[in-house]
Amino acid sequence: MLHLEKKLIEELKSTIAGTIILPDDPTYNKARTIWNGMIDKKPALIVQVADTQDVPVAVNFARKNRLELSVLGGGHHIAGNSLAENGLTIDFSNMKKVQVDPEKRRAYVEPGATLADFDKATQAHGLATPTGINSTTGMAGLTLGGGFGWLTRQYGLTVDNLVSADVVSAGGKAIKASEEENPDLFWALRGGGGNFGVVTGFEFNLHNMGPEVFAGLMVFPFHQAKNVLRQYNEFSQSAPRELNVWVVLRHAPPLPFLPDDVHGKMVLVLAIFYNGEADKGEKLVDFLRGFGNPVGEHTGMQPYTQWQQAFDPLLTPGLRNYWKSHNFETVTDELIGSLVKFAGTIPSPHTEIFLGSISGLQNEIPAEATAYPLRHARYIMNVHGRWEDESDDDRLIGWAREVYNATKPYAAGGAYVNFMTEDENNAVASAYGANYERLVVLKQKFDPENLFHMNQNIKPKPMAST
């Protein structure tokens, strides 16, 4: 463990309003615990900033003392890049405010806010914007990687609804980024991850929605999976954008609407979201019932905030997690066969394969319009390995990689950086495709020393040796 001079620590303490947590502090282990239980990094110091004024001080301190620097928002990223081993971690857990201007339909969000914080504030005014599906996810990390969820088909990605961002640069300077101010930086922030600065505030466009939506789950026996998936593929290509249906293949949790003899067995679940009236939602769901013979169903009108937390019990912090992901333009019979084959060998009761529909508005935006390049993708698969014991690491990771390799021939290329694990940093260039060269140029402009490298890293001047 790095031991900084006591004098330096005291100087830092005297110049910030927040709190510095060191390894001998009784709150240290709690402060360094993040969602993925596989991550066990030990920062030399954690700076829990109190306000935006603390951030340039922390950035400058890390740069001057050549400390590895990371940024902790929600701490939900699979790779664990929010913690800097033996370095300095900027912790935004005390900056979680979400302010809403209902007349302008704008939300102003601090970087420690979670989806739950955002949804609570915006839904108080009957407003929303596309975010993710797990309420404990941090808004900052979700946004900087792209962000998609139930509203994506109708309103695009999270980054498509970002209006502006307040950023602290590698030189410790406060910068505004929008279409009007520093538009090149704004372009890079919308999908480029944390490569270009520390974002201290987000401004989002909001849409009228809720507070109730038609949503729920429909569960089919696993032996019907191929048939359901084929019909899902056909239906999803022409479904109204107000409707979003995702497929989950997993062992059935003990949900109260499922018969006891289904608990623990492999099932196919349709997760259904309809942003509209109950009668129209019921008609659409009735059509979905015809895909097979469901063994259980729980659908109806419910608060949007409740639906946004529906999957939280399956995604609690502390378990070990490893993901592999692909994008697809269509769900072919070959892909269906591969998914069903590997779903039949899912190696833990917590593990799942999900296939989410992201087709719609985001496909109409040119790939070069934002750093996020995957505008061709209409579906995204996540092989979500999740387990309890460290002794199972090799088995579960090996299985996830096997599924990934088997489904790769049907994939559309590229990768969603928010789903990329720690061992995939060598795939960053291919993840960004044609946008990568521009990102490299902007990385050189805004962070030539690569201070912000605790991310799916875009290195400045990667061609310097040629």
**Global pTM?**
0.95
Mapped onto helix, strand or coil, the DSSP state of residue 72 is: strand
pLDDT attached to residue 426: 85
Give me the domains of the chain, ranges plus CATH numbers: 6-91 (3.30.43.10), 98-208 (3.30.465.10), 212-423 (3.40.462.20)
Please tell me whether the peptide bond between 102 and the residue prior to it is cis, using omega within 30 degrees of 0: no
The per-residue DSSP string of 256-268 comes to: TTS-GGGTTSEEE
The confidence score (pLDDT) of residue 464 equals: 45
The whole-number pLDDT of residue 210 equals 86
Give the per-residue pLDDT at 195.
Answer: 97
**Contact assessment for residue 214 and residue 274, using Cβ atoms and an 8 Å cutoff:** yes
Reduce the DSSP state of residue 334 to 3 states and report it.
Answer: helix
Asked whether 103 and 116 are in contact (CB, 8 A), the reply is: no
* CA–CA dist 331, 227 (Å, integer): 12
User: What are the residues whose beta carbons fall under 8 Å from the beta carbon of 149, sequence distance 6 or more?
Assistant: 130, 131, 132, 133, 158
What single string gives the DSSP state of each residue in 190-219? TTSTTSS-EEEEEEEE-EE--SEEEEEEEE
Q: Which residues contact 225 (CB under 8 A, 6 or more apart)?
A: 249, 268, 339, 340, 343
- CA distance linking residue 261 with residue 278, whole number of Å: 31
pLDDT the model gives residue 465: 44
pLDDT at position 6, please?
85
DSSP per-residue string spanning 106-135? EEEE-TT-BHHHHHHHHHTTTEE----S-T
Contact 72, 88 (CB under 8 A): no
Regions in the chain scoring below 50 on pLDDT: 464-466
The phi and psi torsions of 434 (rounded to 5 degrees) equal -65, -15
**The predicted structure's pLDDT at residue 5:** 81
CB within 8 A of 90, min separation 6: which ones?
47, 49, 55, 58, 59, 69, 70, 71, 72, 198
Residue 462: predicted pLDDT: 54
Query: Cβ(220)–Cβ(268) under 8 Å?
Result: yes
What is the token pair recorded at 334? 């070959």
What local confidence, expressed as pLDDT, does residue 1 receive? Answer: 54
pLDDT tens, position by position, 158-178: 999 999 999 999 999 999 999
Q: Is residue 223 within 8 Å of 127, Cβ to Cβ? A: no
Cα 137 to Cα 131: distance, rounded to the nearest angstrom: 9
- HSE at residue 349, side-chain half, CA atoms within 13 A, is 8
| Helices vs. strands in the chain: H and E counts, helices first | 14, 18
Q: What is the pLDDT of residue 2?
A: 63
